[in-house]
A = this chain, B = another copy of it.
Amino acid sequence: MKYTDKGVENLKIAYVGGGSRGWAWKLMSDLAVAGDISGEVDLYDIDYEAACHNEIIGNKFNDACGATTKWTYQARKTIGEALTGADFVIISILPGTFDEMDSDVHTPEKYGIYQPVGDTTGPGGIVRALRTIPMIEVIARAIREYCPKAWVINYTNPMALCIKSLYDTFPEIKAFGCCHEVFAVQELIAKAVCEATGEQITERKAVKANVVGVNHFTWITDARYRNYDVNKIYADFAEKYYYSGVEKKNPDSVFESAHRVKFDLFKRYGVIAAAGDRHLAEFCEGSWYLKNDEQIKDWGFVRTPVSWRKEDLKERQARSERLRTGKEAVTIQETGEDGVRQIRALLGLGDCTTNVNIPNMGQIPNLPLGIVVETNAAFRDNSVDPIFAGPVPDGVWQLVSRAADAQSMVAKAARERNLDLAFKAFANDPLVNLDLPTARQLFDEMVENTKKYLSEYFE
């Protein structure tokens, strides 16, 4: 890369999972309007054809209405070619296919275990981690070989375990993970403040929040807006909407919730849970929010069926085809993602503060060191420094430490390709409320269903 008066040019970004039909297009859009930086984006994907399609689509963004800079997109056949010389690496892969995810999410239902997402924790998240971590290790070793000084941004789930595996494999890596779940809660808080005070808050970033926890199970211990008592405002809001929930924008959404789980957790602990209800529920006792579909419905959220994801993929594939062939024009849109803002900050082009996933060095003093946690961090010229977030509050602490402990056990089990250890974490999961022999039966069934991606565990 090369610094100029204007900014930075000749930047090289490597995108692992570059055949993506979602995140990749958002990045293209954001890069197209990042006026002061330009360069090359190398796309690597095990589906080389998909990467080639994105090469074509990406290059079209240079001519899109509103584009302020130029980027050259290039599909690469090997990860080595993609990574060589990279200043930044983006990792956004689907570990396995939606068939494996189908097993992750839906096999446990036979045993009375319901997962709204199934990609982070719970039986689904654990088995997903088992097949993802070996892939991440391959990527981490390639980064060590081809671009050890590059900044690495991961979007793959299970987020915390992917970041942990990157650091376990290559301890000097400069990696972090981004997730926008907290943003939506800042918006909810803004809504509460507006409702209570009549203020107009148009930007979620205007609500300052101190974040502690692990990815998808983060908590806001201090929310601030001007000199209001935001905690009190939120408490009243939670009370008011405790039973009714907050009306969803789109009643048919398979992602949105009425925030009732959030309000229940607030009443239990006095702390604002800061992720989507679908994720939050998966970290709690199964009997609290996930006993059955009726209970789930009562709590105002939905389980996202994998069949929906399969349908959605087909639509995105069709759209990819339209974009590639020009039947649909590429368009630049506000994505709300922080990725490009972070890249710019790491280049020294404007400090920023946002929540990230990195190993705990003490930013959360009552969680184990080395566990990947989510807190705010300062992005300033080639550095991501966690902001001291303070301890996880009493009550919440034991929920989060359970998740931290599971992270540690699953990471070790995957690193050592040890299914028996993985099962210990599995049996210990709050959703797996089964006696040991039955739990083992479910575990074995899920492993069998996805064994195509678990061969290293049987060597």
> How far is A402 from B430 in the complex, measured between Cα atoms in Å?
13
- Contact between A388 and B362, CB atoms less than 8 A apart: yes
Interface residues of A in 398-431 (CB under 8 A from B): 398, 401-402, 404-406, 408-409, 412, 424-425, 427-428
Instruction: Output the least CB separation between A304 and chain B (Å).
Output: 24
- Contact between A378 and B378, CB atoms less than 8 A apart: yes
Interface residues of A in 1-53 (CB under 8 A from B): 1, 3
- A103-111, A221-229, A317-325: which lies at the B interface? A221-229
Residues 141-184 of chain A, each 1 if its beta carbon lies under 8 Å from chain B, else 0: 00000000000000000000000000000000000000000000
Interface residues of A in 408-459 (CB under 8 A from B): 408-409, 412, 424-425, 427-428, 433, 435-436
Q: How many copies does the complex hold?
A: 4
- Contact between B436 and A226, CB atoms less than 8 A apart: no
- A74-82, A127-135, A245-253, A389-397: which lies at the B interface? A389-397
Interface pairs A-B: 7 shortest CB-CB: A398-B402, A398-B405, A208-B381, A401-B401, A386-B388, A362-B362, A224-B381
The chain B residue sitting closest to A389, CB to CB, is B385
Residues 114-144 of chain A, each 1 if its beta carbon lies under 8 Å from chain B, else 0: 0000000000000000000000000000000
- Contact between B348 and A208, CB atoms less than 8 A apart: yes
Q: Does A380 contact B (CB under 8 A)?
A: yes
Q: Does A287 contact B (CB under 8 A)?
A: yes
Q: Does A353 contact B (CB under 8 A)?
A: yes
Which of B285, B347, B361, B368 touches A388 (beta carbons < 8 Å)? B361
> How far is A365 from B361 in the complex, measured between Cα atoms in Å?
9
- Contact between B285 and A433, CB atoms less than 8 A apart: yes
Which of B1, B222, B264, B387 touches A386 (beta carbons < 8 Å)? B387
> How far is A409 from B397 in the complex, measured between Cα atoms in Å?
11
Interface residues contributed by chain A, number (CB under 8 Å): 59
Q: Does A267 contact B (CB under 8 A)?
A: yes
Residues 335-370 of chain A, each 1 if its beta carbon lies under 8 Å from chain B, else 0: 000000000000110010100000001110110100
Instruction: Output the least CB separation between A408 and chain B (Å).
Output: 5
- Contact between A395 and B382, CB atoms less than 8 A apart: no
Q: Which B residues are in CB contact (< 8 Å) with A381?
A: 208, 224-226
Chain A to chain B contacts (Cβ below 8 Å), 28 pairs: A206-B348, A208-B381, A208-B382, A208-B383, A210-B385, A224-B348, A224-B381, A224-B382, A285-B285, A287-B287, A287-B433, A361-B365, A362-B363, A362-B388, A376-B378, A376-B385, A378-B378, A385-B389, A386-B387, A387-B387, A387-B388, A388-B388, A394-B409, A395-B409, A398-B406, A401-B401, A401-B405, A402-B402
Q: Does A241 contact B (CB under 8 A)?
A: no
Q: Which B residues are in CB contact (< 8 Å) with A390?
A: 361
